[in-house]
Chains A and B, each alone.
Chain A
Amino acid sequence: MNRIDQVFQEKKNILNIYFTAGYPKLGDTVKIIKALEKGGADLIEIGMPYSDPVADGPTIQESNMEALENGMTITKLFEQLEGIRDHTNIPIILMGYINPVIQYGVERFVEKCKAIGIDGTILPDLPLPDFKREYKALFDKAGLYNIFLISPQTSEERIKQIDEASNGFIYMVSSNSITGAKDKIQEGQVEYYERVKSYNLRNKKLIGFGISNNETFTNACAYAEGAIIGSAFIKLLSQSDNLDKDIAEFVKSVKG
């Protein structure tokens, strides 16, 4: 069974934490994964840095730029993740823009994910029809889940198409925005959450973008199986001088 399905079966109020590979330091990847698992995160999303991350706000943009300056590449990330399944069982998703993956070679990328024990991918600028036409068979064969996003502007018809093509969970973008931490629940969000809930989708849902603390996390958990935190965690990493301790405290403070 894919580890993503397993975690949804076994747990409630799932906390998925995002960080950018190669940030703050090139060699921090495995250290952060271990600290997150130990601290009580349920899922990990690792960003593959890109020079032009159009869906991301300033915090994640900066972490991408720094990670690239530190020398992070997909090849380097796979080297770091080699053998990761000897230490940890937490589901891992790789998130990244499509161009670096195309240059690496999509087929080679999928094979490598399978060999290492990656459970899913989020490729935000790979359109649904292109995925279905060119890559779905490849992903299915490897048991790799490709997670799709929906936003408040996504039509009901399209949400149902995405639900049909999805595995693992659907990534619900909380508002019409790029990534970035917000302290409060935004106007119109509850209506959107209720609307999507009423569609009775076959997939689980995690809410992301603008989730930063216990209040926003708890709110999201009322409408979905859990939530995703990115920018707020990147901010923490940028300020931390004791990753193990600070990560554990962060996860605890969010979960409450």
Chain B
Amino acid sequence: MLAVSESGFYGNFGGAYIPEMLHPNVEELKNNYLEIIQSPSFQEEFLSLLKDYVGRPTPLYYASRLSEKYNTNVYLKREDLCHTGAHKVNNTIGQILLAKRLGKKRIIAETGAGQHGVATATICALMGLECEVFMGKIDVARQKPNVERMKMLGAKVIEAVSGSQTLKDATNDAMRDWINNPVDTYYVIGSVVGPHPYPDMVARFQAVISEEIKKQLAEKTGKENPDYILACVGGGSNAAGAFYHFAENSEVKLIGLEAAGKGVDTGESAATTLLGKEGVLHGSRSLVMQTPDGQVVEPYSISAGLDYPGIGPVHAYLFASGRGKYFPVTDEEAMEAGLQLSRLEGIIPAIESSHALAYLEKLNAKPEEVVVVNLSGRGDKDLATYIKWIEDHKS
């Protein structure tokens, strides 16, 4: 378990650094979330939707050709097979069920690439709730299909025109909207970021990933703990879910892969544990990519889902304590790994997940060891990027 303290800290990281105007909203959530999500009626509804609507449990697939290539045992946790195409929906179902129990009528969310926005819009359609998704103006332009999907699902997409007009600014604008609408509105955060209790709550909703891995691995191999778990980290929700139930088994090595973009020294990167410093962003104390003066910088990655200048406080803690290891993966390494998985296993991964796959090259796992890669999403949304990459890299 990845336990958070009463005041919302993992070691030195976390907390709730929010303006007073948000305090009542966050306090209401903090005082109620555990009781609600642990109640039998909530659990029943949540689990039933995960099973019949999302399609859980997602398979744990032994990737034989990939295993052969790296001379080890690689299992893929197939979150890419979730309804809407990624793990994100585990969290949106949880939070929106919670919002309904708190009597909220209107749902807001931020989105970068649009995956969390689509997952939120989907569940709002299912529950008949009003939904508004904030998305940076630049992201709206470069993620058209997801914008149209959200609209088809009945959501309103609001362009964030503040700041640098990307994910961090969409998050700022969602927080501003929540300040302006404190009573009837619920803010669904898409990752293990934000003020306490969001990081803990989102991790709990994603923890189903590691719960299933344990059970499935025991069935397949006779032992429930793998030697390694690999997961990509932007804010870090799929990684938090994949690590959650293994955090106390020190023999399981937890490895987070961050987007190095064009390289960690190029100024076009999103490798927060390497390039970030301790600071406060979006309501929690964590590692933040920033200037020496404390201004948050715009990160870069070919993968919009990893293009975030912070990291969830739980990962800052795992990194600082040494329990988790975090490594940068470049655009190029990730793209090659994605193309390789397509050819070897017939699975086109999301570029985010390709970052986790790419690390198999460097892992040097032993033939008898077991490696679980959390395949957090599928690559349909990334086809245009893959195609362009292939065109540009024809020799």
Residues of A at the B interface (CB closer than 8 Å) are: 50-58, 61, 65, 68, 73-75, 97-104, 124-127, 129-130, 148-151, 153-155, 158, 173, 176-178
Contacts and interface: CB of A to CB of B under 8 A. Distances in A.
A127 B15 contact: yes
A52 B172 CA distance: 7
B281 interface: yes
Nearest 7 interchain pairs by C-beta = A100-B294, A103-B294, A153-B24, A149-B20, A55-B19, A51-B295, A73-B293
Interface in B233-284: 277-283
A99 B21 contact: no
A217 B183 CA distance: 27
B370 interface: no
Given A74-B293, A99-B288, A153 B172 contact: no
Given A104-B294, A151-B21, A154-B23, A125 B280 contact: yes
B17 interface: yes
Contacts of B107: none
Contacts of B21: 55, 149, 151, 153, 173, 176-178
Given A98-B17, A103-B290, A154-B20, A51 B280 contact: no
Contacts of A53: 172
Contacts of A97: 280
B24 A103 contact: no
A131 B181 CA distance: 27
Contacts of A124: 19-20
A56 B173 CA distance: 10
Contacts of A52: 163, 168-169, 172, 281-282, 296
B385 interface: no
B16 interface: yes
Contacts of B164: 51
B181 A176 contact: yes
A101 B285 CA distance: 13
B18 interface: yes
B163 A51 contact: yes
Given A52-B281, A54-B179, 14 more contacts: A52-B172, A54-B18, A56-B176, A61-B163, A74-B293, A99-B294, A103-B293, A125-B283, A126-B17, A149-B19, A153-B183, A176-B179, A176-B181, A178-B179
Interface of B: 7, 15-21, 23-25, 162-164, 168-169, 172, 175-176, 179-183, 277-283, 288, 290, 292-297
Given A54-B175, A148-B20, A151-B21, A102 B280 contact: yes
A65 B280 contact: no
Contacts of B290: 99, 103
Contact of B279 (A55, A61, A102, A178): A102
A50 B18 contact: no
29 contacts: A51-B295, A51-B297, A52-B281, A52-B296, A54-B19, A54-B176, A61-B162, A99-B279, A99-B294, A100-B293, A100-B294, A100-B295, A101-B294, A103-B279, A103-B294, A125-B17, A125-B18, A125-B19, A127-B18, A130-B15, A153-B25, A153-B182, A154-B20, A154-B23, A155-B24, A176-B21, A176-B180, A176-B182, A178-B21
A236 B288 CA distance: 35
Contacts of B163: 51-52, 61, 65
Contacts of B277: 103
Contacts of B281: 52, 99
A155 B31 CA distance: 14
Contacts of A57: 176
Nearest to A61: B162
Q: Which residue, of A53, A75, A101, has the highest number of chain B Cβ atoms within 10 A?
A: A53
B24 A75 contact: no
B15 A99 contact: no
Contacts of A153: 21, 23-25, 182-183
A61 B15 CA distance: 25
A134 to B, nearest CB: 11
A52 B290 CA distance: 11
B127 to A, nearest CB: 25
A239 to B, nearest CB: 21
Given A124-B20, A149-B20, A178 B294 contact: no
A151 B180 contact: no
A158 B16 CA distance: 16
Nearest to B24: A153
Contacts of A98: 17, 280
B293 A54 contact: no
A98 to B, nearest CB: 5
A173 B24 CA distance: 14
Contacts of A127: 15-18, 23
Contacts of B168: 52
Nearest to A100: B294
A110 to B, nearest CB: 16
